[in-house]
Structure 1
Amino acid sequence: MAAGAAFLVLPWPGAGSPEEGRGGALLRGGAVLGALLIICVAALRKWIAGGVCRSDRRQDGKTALVTGANTGIGKETCRELARRGARVVMACRDLSRAERAAEEIRASTGNGNVVTRHLDLASLYSVRQFAKDFLDTEDRLDILINNAGVMMCPKWLTEDGFETQFAVNHLSHFLLTNLLLPKLKSSAPSRVVTVSSVAHRGGHIDFSDLFFASRPYSPLQSYRQSKLANVLFSRELARRLRGTGVSSFCVHPGVIRTELGRHVEGRFPLSGALLRLPALLLMKTPRQGSQTSLYCAVTPGLEDRSGSYFSDCAVKEAAPEGRDDQVARRLWTESARLVGIPDDQC
């Protein structure tokens, strides 16, 4: 062999120092643990995703109205309804963002019958104008999804002098639904879906101080009160609409990765940043969060469950506070007084 020739020596399996053996075992053990972690995370994500709306019922010829529709679960609900052929009206405060979302939905679904309309739920005047324009220009309303909301914002008052969370999450949707009832009834069978939250548990309707005028303001207590109001409103609406062909459902969408939590992160920026990554693993995507709203909107045969509370595409029992019919009736009467409509309009 020529001088200077090089040799390539390959290690024989099992050869090497004890340290190298232990290192290989550690690597193999780490790979196994990594694989198990991936499997566990995948299983956790599947469990968190919850129920899926499996109805493929088309919605051609029907009109659906969704509030808070330019982002989050509202946008994904609109996308699914458009994909099924419905005319979709996206009611949003920011029309420029709404139009961008609508254009995206038209492109992704091939349904050009997706329109935007201005609605500011912090203004009863805006709600009345929206309802008047809708009644004047739309032929029907088959699905109303009261989706928009705010969560744990600072103590702000609307132009009507109402605390923002109670006004936006409950009072404005209460007024909107009542004003649109003629169209819902004439389009029957039709459905009203109100998005609440599991946060209604532990909530309390303080009729003596609904707007925190004389007690310390708590963003969490206010949010819980407004979400409990959603549950009670949906329940009382179902009772009042019995026999009309209009069904009412209330849903908990799950904990979703949306803009809704921006005020929480704003209040606790450091902890929000530290918890953001692990929290992402424990939250539904907007598409997953839209499934229960979609389920209640399109699944056949739910009429006999009107007034029920749903989560993960199944009927669940609301908290005892959400099943108090006496409080539900009193809340209806007080809400009607605050927004200026007759108590017996429904």
Structure 2
Amino acid sequence: MTGPSLDSMAGRVCLVTGAGGGMGQVIVTELARRGATVVLVCRRMQAARLLRDQVTAATGNTDVHAMAADLSDQRAIRELAAAFSERHAHLHVLINNAGAHFHDRRLSVDGIELHLAVNHLSWFMLTNLLLDRLIAGAPARVVNVASDAISDTRAYRIGPRRMATIDLDDLQSERAYRPMHAYGSAKLAMVMCGYALARRLSGTGVTVNALHPGIVATGIIADSVPRALRPIAALARPFLLTPAQGARTAVHLATSPEVAHVSGAFFADLRPRRTPEPSYDTAVQERLWQASAVLTGLADQDRADTTP
């Protein structure tokens, strides 16, 4: 993998969700190559153990650990956070890489629309549950793998003064469901709550940033194409980024000294980039934060409201 210099991560504990996907595999391998203690999370334990063994063989790093959780299931997220906390007193890097795209509107076991459950609420819940470990590990970093779909989504509602806001009245796409709209809206929620989290963690030594990996040849891209068009879309695959290329920015945000003190930013192709102007509306961010806290059962504890 080409990209930033191999910054040593020896002694750093890193947790990576969505490790079984193409980009996830590259990310955990690069972190292990840099000497980090890597905890990789896949949906199934068999896949997690197989990937652990592959990463250890490729890097010589034996401090790679497998965990499993269905991140659409809030009970599984709580169990994952508890199991990690039992084994590790510190967390230095949390990469929320898990994501999914669905053609049909489906609900999670908790009754939440799956795009919202997997692409936003899973990272929101896991990160909040592990905040004590992140703060204990400071300087620490939260890296959220978002998407440029936040720029294309129709999740914005235009008001009388043409000011756009995220539609808090239909977060679960109950009134109208369009797959890419639901996906983009969930990733937009990830970015906006990431901005809110960065404010909450100011002064703690924990940074929070998000990124667009590029148009990468992954399962999400394949799933987002209507079935009838997939034979045609397959012709474009050679022109998409490889998982290794897509992982560059995530690895950069997780390891590079250049961004050690950067927080509350969005990156693409290793560089900061502004997101749509409405995403910076702090009032809407806070309303979205509270809605997310309610949906994850964290409203009563609001663990991210931490003082240094």
Q: How far does residue 343 in structure 1 lie from its aligned partner after superposition?
A: 6.1
Matched AA of 1:224: G
1:250 is paired with a residue whose SS is strand
The corresponding residue for 1:11 is: none
The answer to whether 1:217 aligns with 2:174 is no
Q: Is the 8 A contact 1:200 1:322 kept in 2?
A: no
Q: Is the 8 A contact 1:158 1:167 kept in 2?
A: yes
The corresponding residue for 2:66 is: 116
1:305 is paired with a residue whose SS is coil
Matched AA of 1:259: G
Q: Is the 8 A contact 2:222 2:230 kept in 1?
A: no
The corresponding residue for 2:47 is: 97
Q: 1:329 aligns with which of 265, 286, 296?
A: 286
Distance between the aligned counterparts of 2:61 and 2:111, measured in 1?
Answer: 40
Q: 1:128 aligns with which of 60, 78, 98?
A: 78
Distance between the aligned counterparts of 1:191 and 1:262, measured in 2?
Answer: 30
Distance between the aligned counterparts of 2:144 and 2:3, measured in 1?
Answer: 17
1:1-346 equivalences in 2 (<5 Å): 53-203=3-153, 204=155, 205-213=166-174, 215-265=175-225, 267-269=226-228, 271-277=229-235, 279-341=236-298, 342=300, 344-346=302-304
Distance between the aligned counterparts of 1:259 and 1:292, measured in 2?
Answer: 19
Matched AA of 1:132: A
Residues 1:291 and 1:165: Cα distance change in structure 2 (over 3 Å) = same
Deviations for 1:288-346, whole angstroms, at most 9, x for unmatched residues? 10000001001114244200000001111112132222211111111111111136421
1:275 is paired with a residue whose SS is helix
Matched AA of 1:310: F
Deviations for 1:25-63, whole angstroms, at most 9, x for unmatched residues? xxxxxxxxxxxxxxxxxxxxxxxx9xx631321001111
Distance between the aligned counterparts of 2:117 and 2:136, measured in 1?
Answer: 28
TM-score by length of 2: 0.91
TM-score by length of 1: 0.81
Q: Higher helix fraction: Structure 1 or Structure 2?
A: 1
Matched AA of 1:268: R
Q: Is the 8 A contact 2:131 2:303 kept in 1?
A: no
2:130 is paired with a residue whose SS is helix
Matched AA of 1:272: R
- Please provide the CA RMSD for this pair: 1.5
% identical equivalent positions: 38
The corresponding residue for 1:6 is: none
2:233 is paired with a residue whose SS is helix
Quick check: 316-325 or 104-113, which moved more? 316-325
Deviations for 1:61-120, whole angstroms, at most 9, x for unmatched residues? 111000010121111000000000001111111221222222111111111111111111
2:170 is paired with a residue whose SS is coil
Q: Is the 8 A contact 1:55 1:298 kept in 2?
A: no
Quick check: 97-106 or 292-301, which moved more? 97-106
Distance between the aligned counterparts of 1:242 and 1:226, measured in 2?
Answer: 24
Deviations for 1:216-246, whole angstroms, at most 9, x for unmatched residues? 2110110110110111011111111000000
Unpaired runs of 5+ residues, structure 1, are: 1-48
1:260 is paired with a residue whose SS is helix
Distance between the aligned counterparts of 1:209 and 1:275, measured in 2?
Answer: 31
How many positions carry a matched residue from both structures?
292
Q: Which has the larger radius of gyration?
A: 1
